Structure 1
Amino acid sequence: MLVTSPVVVGRAEQLGLLDAGLAAVGAGRGRAVFLLGEAGIGKSRLAGECAYRAVTGGLAVLRGRSGPGAGAAAPFRPIAEALLSLFRVSGPPRAPELVPYRSALAGILPEWRAGGTPAEPTSLIETAEAVLRVLLAVARDRESHPRPGCLLILEDLHDADAETLAVVEYLCGNLADLPVFLLGTLRSEAGAAGTLVREAARSRCADLTELLPLSAEQVTAMAGAALAADAARPLPGADPPPLPGPVAERLARDAEGNPFVVEELLSGMITAGVLRRSPAGDWEVCGDLGIDVPRTVVHSVIRRADRLSPAGRTLLDTAAVLGRRFPLSVLQRITGLGDRDLLVHLRAGIDAQLISSSGPVADWYEFRHALTAEALLSGLLPTERAALARRAADAIEQAYPGLPGEWCPRVAGLRLTAGDPAAAARRYAEAGEAARREGAVDSAVSFLERAQELLSATERAPVVEQLLYTLMESGRLDRALALVDTLPVTGPGALDTARAAALRARLAWATVTAARYADAAAQAHHARRLFARLGDGPAPAVDVVEAHLALADTGPSGEPGAGGAGTDTGAAATEAGADRADRAERLARRAAEEAERTGLPEVACQAWQLLAMLERRHGFDRADACLERGLALATEHGLTTLQIDALLRLGSNDFMRGGSSALLERAHRAAVDHGALVLMHNAEASLAMQAVLTGRYTAARELADRCVLATARLRNTDNHQFVLLTRATLAAHRGNRREMERELAEFRRWDGDTSLQLPVLFGSRAVCALLEEDHEQALRELDQSLVWEKRHPSVFYLNGRYGLRPLLRALTGRADPAEHAAVAAHPAAALPWNRQFERFALAVHEGRAGHALRAGGAVEQAVRAGGPFPMGRRIGLRLVAQAALADGWGDPVAWAREAEEYFHEASVPAVAGACRELLRRAGATVRQRRRGASGIPAALRRIGLTPREYEVFLLLVPRLGNKDIAERLYISARTVEKHVASLLAKTGSPHRSALCDYAAEATGPAGPG
């Protein structure tokens, strides 16, 4: 018989930590806790107790376990088991927000495979985000409970695969504000898992507690509780019989504080008859404890197994070779037992407390403890284990043709145990390829590395080739670059020239897209030389890499700036940049044409995308034609991700050409349906920027907020940078400098200073300066942007170079009509956002030259172009009204009045005030637009701030001087001085600097805008 303690003894600290975690989840605060300790120390017992408390508290509980098999762990095994443990009964959550993540989870949840797995493997970080979203959906499904939330228990993480550990790491870093509690267990000697959880604890992303052995007193208490739970215990209310002293001493000495060993030793004593009940109900010793009680758990397990029939013992040994968990159908095939005999022996193992059912998983059973399987294996001779492993591998291969899922690595491990390393290597290589197809690239790398270790130098080249492609997919470029040079160039074991060339070309593409230009140049050189040996003409895969290198301004060394233009200035820099762009275009066009001719659609699409960016210099019709060609190729060859990418680029172009977001919204829906998370966030970021430009600020904020955290979690640097710039642009278009600078500071923290998106930063600052009526600062920002763009490839075309900058230069007299004509001739100047400002600039030039009719016509053209852009159109009207009033043409009163109305409603006081001043100078009536008391925050109203004082108060946030404030509000500096003195008195600020600080705090995160 087996006795167990019904209570947890000696773990008050750990139970307190678990209770705190459950309470925090109930309040919407997630956390991760890891229980560390040796086998049998009580980790699973605590996890079970936590699950019980969570269920009784109304939380959803998901529970999965890693398990050592004969081979390496299958990808995502415990995650899949945890999700299925809940979804088998209730089905997966149906929340609409999970639709984009169904494809990412299709490899884990079979129920979601009907939605279609992605054409290309989902990245590991996307899968981790999908798991997080599902857990959040599970937690929210229980909002009707007193404590909504969920508990995810992952046991035996020391045996977990690399993908599971990556998901665990991701969850640890992102649970803080979510109602999800992660509880993990692992052994003290855990390798990668131990490193992960200790690092998480050091970074305060998780709590780590180690379970120490029980003290002698705690062992006695646990043993007493276990015996008191015996079926023959006294009647309720009676004290349990005491534990005999010799038994307590023996347990304290031999169990070494391990709860599992305590229970095994107690069970052994009772089974051997040396510890039994007296007629009075007390426990008594009836024999020699030193002789009859098993000295170790191994002896205890083997002794119980030996009591079974020979066939029953063989069944257990075979199961142990399969691992802690095993399917009954496979066990039957290996042993050859009939249904009746199989069930008889299985029942005997269950009765002996050696095995149990594996939860809700049909047909699967497991050993009661990991030590049970280890004890059985230790009792087998090596030849016995090898023979059982061989039979097991044969049986699995017959039962599961193709070895799907975890069976391939299991068979590989069994073949290795059976002494057949070559067969094991083949299976590990197959497992690696299957894992790579499913997107489990970390596991794929592990399997392939095992395979190459088992092969001789002349046999391993194909596996190394496979491993190299997998390393590139996982971004481990350092490892790939080191490994590729270990391949023999000629002789036995060398790849043929075509495969070697393709491998080097793929490595060149991986390194150039990672901005590792020196490595890309070296690999492109290797590939070019190998392709030359084949004599097949141009190598399109190399051409497209070298086109990117040309744009990056690299020379033969591949180092940025080595192309010669890195130190050029002025016209020389512009000319050098144009030469690089022309070379890149020639290479990309040759790559696209040759790739199509030779049947390389993926390379052709890459080339057409690059060409589309370069063709923008010549017109957006030509750029769209390139994208349409790439889209057709991607559609024809089923390259879904490249299809969506082409749609996104076409959608962005469509907006720039006409101000419509319809095509981009279509691309966004395609990304959602496909589960392409990175592309989905790309679309959302672009839609958010378009919403900013079209004045839909609430929609822009919602879109940006939707993807800012996700892009940060996914470490999608380019897209996260763009989202931050979008948020900065949103703040700039509302005249909120504090918020804008906060977003730009975060952009820099994400390496923004090296981003090709830097012109957006200058453009945002220029707009913000305009809304502060600081035209000189706006022009300085745009000048900086122009300097930057002359040295780098042009990616963005709405940042002032072809619209706002020409207008400001025209207003200040820095530009003449000839300069304006040169700018207007560029295709980018025809884009509506730029066109409105370019036409306003033309109106200034024509009005100054005395051509009033032509100037008025240009304004009408500007207003039509600016139809989709309410803020841009009104800032243009404000600026052109000033020139029209000064030069005596047009209708400056109507333009200033329209702009004043807009900026007053938008709470941009500086521009609204400037428009009112223009109206006064024109002799027009000016409606009093001073803010009413209702616009002043309640705390400031209580201390008596007047509407005019509040306007001054807002302009103290950027620490403007009295003169600057006077110019912004069109009042005298003396009046400003009086208002500042009043503000000092009313706020109790000791000096002006303190008053500025107070203003910054009082206006809150939203700032004065």
Structure 2
Amino acid sequence: MLGPVETTSVSPVFVGRIEELGILHEALARAAGSEPQALLLGGEAGVGKTRLVEEFAAAARRRGAVVAVGGCVEIGADGLPFAPFSTALRALRRALPDELAAAAEGQEEELARLLPELADAPVAATGHGRPDEEGLARLFELTTRLLERTAARRPVVLVLEDLHWSDTSTRHLLAYLLRTLRTGRLVVLATYRSDDIHRRHPLRPLLAELDRLRTVRRIELDRFTRDEVARQIAGILAREPERIQVDDIFERSDGNAFFVEELAVAAHQGCRCGLTESLRDLLLVRLEALPETAQRVARIVAEGGTTVEYRLLAAVAGLAEDDLIEALRAAVNANLLLPAPEGDGYRFRHSLVREAVADDLLPGERSRLNRRCAEALDADPTLVPEAERVMRLASYWYHAHDPARALPAVLDAAVEARRRHAHAEQLRLLERAMELWDSVPGELRTQLRRTDCPEAYPVVSRRTGPLRCLDLMAQAVFAGRLSGERERALRITRRALDLLEEDPDPLCAAWFWTQRSVLAEAQARGDGRRELDRAQELVRGLPPSEVHAEVLAIAAGWAMLHNPGPEAVTAAERAVEFARMVGAADIELDARLTLGGLMVDAGHIEAGVAEMYEVKELALAQGRSTVAARSHVNLPSVLEGIGRSEEAVGILREGLDHTRRTGLRESEAWVWGNLAESLISLGRWDEALQAADRAGTSRAAQSRSGACAKSTWIALGRGDVSEAARQLAEARAVHGPHDPMPQYRVPLAALTLSIAAAEGRLDDARAELGRALDAGFPPGTQRYAWPLLVAAAETEADALGRPGAEQGRAEVLDRLREAAHSLTTGVPLWLAHDRWVRAELRRAEGRDTPELWSEAVTAFEALERPYELARVRFRLAASLLAAGAEQDRDRATELLRLAHAVAGHLGARPLATAATRLAQRARLPLHTGPAPTAAPADPAEALGLTGRERDVLRLVADGHTNRRIAEELFISPKTASVHVSNILAKLGVAGRGEAAAMAHRMGLFRVGAADG
């Protein structure tokens, strides 16, 4: 509207930043080669981040790239969730309409939560009172794929400015994008103010998380040197400044580029800003020099939002159109305001100026401006973009301090936030609604009906009637769970239950107690049992309802993990029955999955497995992603527990596809963890370590603890006791002492006992066994208990004859026999462990016999457990040789050869060493055929390369990057880089090329072996 304007305070000369600009250009070049790039640009306010981004963007456009810019809104949760992504995607759609449409094809309705223009009609919220647990993850996954596909053929630069103002949902989406971005010619560049990131700032944890990603590069802008300040002043003034002026401005600005501009212009205009004047006064100098009408317009823009539309500005300012345009022209010519990059709005040239102007407003003046903005928007909703209207109106009425008008507006904004899966912002808005609740007259509150917003509030008792504060609290609890704000959600459940003490509603109270149970366990505030008991008491005797079914389903799930037995089965069966009665399909399938697992625990193995298979197929067919994901975790876990590891791996591979496709990252981590366990059983230890590495990226403590436990197990098998102890300590630290679930307690006890035994601490091993036996083994825990008993019995047998070992031995062996007798042997795997324990106990008594070991070997030969089979074969060979029968030497030789071969393949050094030493003592050959007189040593082994390093070197020799190596081996790029560094050091070479050449010279790998 105003046309070209003068911007004399911005230097036409781009000063300094040569190194930083070079980094950005290099990132663009790498992205053009289909290697996506992620960069974080930090610096204090006014240091020149925006100018650097503008310079880079202009150069990128000249090189054929599309640049899409989006900025975070200063008003935080009052602004539109995902604002920078929405703005950038809108710019990308204008620049590449066909490419973006093709990339979004088939997912327009879901992606419209970020870019409403993609859908023909507004997208409705989902769930109808139940949390849409996969919705946000699915949106993140689809957004990442959209960007990758849009940037498949042409470089795209996605700029996200001012992360220090970002909403929680934006931060989560950015973290997901940078963690999962794999393909496309894409550069993601995000900026933030480093001086605003105080210790408790919400951006701080994200920056720490991204720093751990080798795929993300952080750039910090320093202040200008004196020479750079001199060049900047010369550009602003269009002449060389005097030395004394440069010294003065450099000292007062301390090299901050924005302050240099302000001081240079102020000095040029004859303003004497003393050294003791505050920064705010300096920033307000330009405002105070404007006409009164221009100052009024600037104050409206400061309070109205990051960008204020011309029509809204006109409605609020109350000026004649000519006067408004002249006021705007004055503000723009003074370089205070700028026309917005898109649309017809206006914004401040620099956020520091806006903050100073807003802070200078009187409290009453601020409330009045917000009220006038709200009244104007109520009168004409078209004054602002449709996508922003609800959020802007809620913010204006809230800051106008008008509770009666603010409450319904805030509730509408909460619905909009949920529709966009912006659960963190939804939570904050609902908390704001609760804050306003008591300030609104009762007769106005009764006009708010639950049925007005059926998607916004979960049905916990009444389906009709006035909206209650309890309804807000229930939805806030959902939002807190889905956004990870469990502590806030816990506080809300406490407030709700206090209200229900005054106005009893058993069904509603039961719902809140159930939520409190889940949250308390997740926050390490106990195991959740007390809360669940209270919920069950409240629903007992009430007619069937969705809440009743959910209470029973969660109670059954809790019992399956903590105390499986007949009561758990009954609860699961009743949950299924009640869910069917009320048509709650998700709860029904979830309860049936739990019931299937409990049936297996109770000994009805085939029936339970069949039930779980049926649930999996139904969940997939009906599109119930969360239940399907859980079935891909629980079913293979059950299969693994009964010894069907290969079958479990097949389902887990399906589970990875499902969780990736639906964006369920936490479920994916559980799938990886279970895959690691089954791969260990199948003797695929290197693959298992890779899977455990992926499971360890979860935010769930149990998943990370389980990943460490599996790494501990492999480290023990390979004889690295110090690494095993480190991993075990991490597992315990992550998991914490609060959770007594047998599926964690018993395996950790077995590992603790084994490490103590490996370090010769027999008393500590016995003490750990005693604690485990005292805690007991509930029904269904055989899969965890048998390995513990094997480890304990083996420890006692190995200690036979050691000084001091006999004291207390008899009691330990008796307790082991009693425990083994109490466990079921209903599947071949458990029967094989029973045979093993019996043989070890006989060995511990000094009465070792080949017959028992032969039974154990026979039992394990029918299973998919190569390491366990190798161990019992070794014991049988030792027993045969100890018996001294000459006719058994050939059999012992074959057994040792088989055990040694498996140990060598797995890298199980203790077992390999033991087999070698036993063969040497018995003068048995471990290798068939004539041994070569000078067998060449394995070159890789001679160089000290581990099995994992061999895999990495093979890929390095084939020319793969660290990123490609990470993808191939299912490890992080950072881990791949560490392995490459270790390899270079061991080979004594300077670079990857030399390492590849040496590998080929030494004949370590076949040509093309990387694909084989």
Whether contact under 8 Å (2:782, 2:823) holds in the other structure is no
Distance 1:534 1:514 in 2: 32
* AA at the equivalent of 1:682: W
Aligned to 1:67: 73
* AA at the equivalent of 1:648: V
Q: Which moved more, 1:202-211 or 1:507-516?
A: 202-211
Distance 2:755 2:255 in 1: 68
Whether contact under 8 Å (2:163, 2:190) holds in the other structure is no
* AA at the equivalent of 2:82: F
Note the C-alpha offset of 1:606: 4.8
Note the C-alpha offset of 1:297: 2.3
Pick closer, same or farther for the CA change 1:536–1:107 going to 2, 3 Å: closer
Aligned to 1:961: none
CA RMSD of superposed structures (Å): 6.7
Give runs of aligned pairs for residues 336-735 of structure 1, distance below 5 A: 358-359=340-341, 366-370=347-351, 371=353, 386-396=371-381, 405-416=387-398, 421-456=403-438, 458=442, 459=445, 461=469, 462-487=471-496, 498-512=507-521, 514-517=523-526, 521-522=530-531, 524-525=533-534, 528-529=537-538, 539-544=548-553, 581-619=565-603, 620-628=605-613, 630-631=615-616, 634=619, 638-655=623-640, 656-660=642-646, 661-708=649-696, 710-711=697-698, 715-735=699-719
SS in 1 for 2:51: helix
Q: Any stretches of 5+ residues in structure 2 without a counterpart?
A: 271-281, 446-467, 801-809, 945-1012
- State TM-score, norm by structure 1: 0.64
Note the C-alpha offset of 1:72: 0.8
Aligned to 2:729: 745
Give runs of aligned pairs for residues 591-990 of structure 1, distance below 5 A: 591-619=575-603, 620-628=605-613, 630-631=615-616, 634=619, 638-655=623-640, 656-660=642-646, 661-708=649-696, 710-711=697-698, 715-751=699-735, 756-761=743-748, 763=750, 783=769, 787=773, 790=776, 797=783, 800-801=786-787, 804=790, 808=794, 830-832=827-829, 834-838=830-834, 858=855, 861-862=858-859, 864-866=861-863, 868-886=864-882, 891-904=891-904, 908=908, 911-912=911-912, 914-915=914-915, 927=927, 934-935=937-938
Distance 1:254 1:731 in 2: 60
Whether contact under 8 Å (2:857, 2:872) holds in the other structure is no
Distance 1:810 1:248 in 2: 82
Whether contact under 8 Å (1:613, 1:795) holds in the other structure is no
Pick closer, same or farther for the CA change 1:195–1:671 going to 2, 3 Å: closer
Q: Which moved more, 1:583-592 or 1:26-35?
A: 26-35
Aligned to 1:78: 84
Q: Which moved more, 1:893-902 or 1:322-331?
A: 322-331
**CA displacement, residues 442-499 of structure 1 (integer Å, 9 cap, x when unaligned):** 2112211222233326546143343243334445455444444545978999686544
* AA at the equivalent of 2:715: A
Pick closer, same or farther for the CA change 1:765–1:447 going to 2, 3 Å: closer
Q: Which moved more, 1:430-439 or 1:916-925?
A: 916-925
Q: Which moved more, 1:129-138 or 1:743-752?
A: 129-138
Pick closer, same or farther for the CA change 1:809–1:173 going to 2, 3 Å: closer
Pick closer, same or farther for the CA change 1:399–1:859 going to 2, 3 Å: same
Note the C-alpha offset of 1:600: 3.9
Note the C-alpha offset of 1:227: 3.6
Q: Which moved more, 1:23-32 or 1:180-189?
A: 23-32
Aligned to 2:285: 296
Note the C-alpha offset of 1:648: 2.4
* AA at the equivalent of 1:651: P
SS in 1 for 2:437: coil
Note the C-alpha offset of 1:830: 1.8
Pick closer, same or farther for the CA change 1:934–1:440 going to 2, 3 Å: same
Whether contact under 8 Å (2:7, 2:333) holds in the other structure is no
**CA displacement, residues 858-916 of structure 1 (integer Å, 9 cap, x when unaligned):** 467435423x3333222222222333444569743432333234435555565445445
Note the C-alpha offset of 1:797: 0.9
> Number of residue pairs matched?
849
Pick closer, same or farther for the CA change 1:636–1:127 going to 2, 3 Å: closer
Whether contact under 8 Å (2:41, 2:189) holds in the other structure is yes
Distance 1:154 1:454 in 2: 33
* AA at the equivalent of 1:690: S
SS in 2 for 1:934: coil
Give runs of aligned pairs for residues 175-254 of structure 1, distance below 5 A: 184-186=191-193, 196-197=203-204, 222=232, 224-228=234-238, 240=239
- Paired-residue identity, %: 20
* AA at the equivalent of 2:236: A
Note the C-alpha offset of 1:501: 3.9
Pick closer, same or farther for the CA change 1:524–1:62 going to 2, 3 Å: farther
Pick closer, same or farther for the CA change 1:796–1:431 going to 2, 3 Å: farther
SS in 1 for 2:42: strand
Note the C-alpha offset of 1:742: 3.5
**CA displacement, residues 558-578 of structure 1 (integer Å, 9 cap, x when unaligned):** xxxxxxxxxxxxxxxxxxx7x
1:35 aligns with 2:43: yes
Whether contact under 8 Å (2:877, 2:896) holds in the other structure is yes
Distance 2:689 2:98 in 1: 31
Whether contact under 8 Å (1:487, 1:494) holds in the other structure is no
Whether contact under 8 Å (2:80, 2:391) holds in the other structure is yes
Whether contact under 8 Å (2:850, 2:880) holds in the other structure is no
Distance 1:411 1:645 in 2: 40
Pick closer, same or farther for the CA change 1:896–1:599 going to 2, 3 Å: same
Whether contact under 8 Å (1:836, 1:873) holds in the other structure is no
Distance 2:745 2:491 in 1: 34
**Structure with larger Rg:** 1
Whether contact under 8 Å (1:721, 1:752) holds in the other structure is no
SS in 2 for 1:654: helix
* AA at the equivalent of 1:894: E
* AA at the equivalent of 1:422: A
Distance 1:441 1:932 in 2: 65
Whether contact under 8 Å (1:528, 1:542) holds in the other structure is no
SS in 2 for 1:672: helix
Note the C-alpha offset of 1:397: 6.6
Note the C-alpha offset of 1:647: 2.8
Distance 1:320 1:213 in 2: 29
* AA at the equivalent of 2:287: V
Distance 1:707 1:693 in 2: 17
SS in 1 for 2:708: helix
Whether contact under 8 Å (2:47, 2:221) holds in the other structure is no
Note the C-alpha offset of 1:683: 1.3
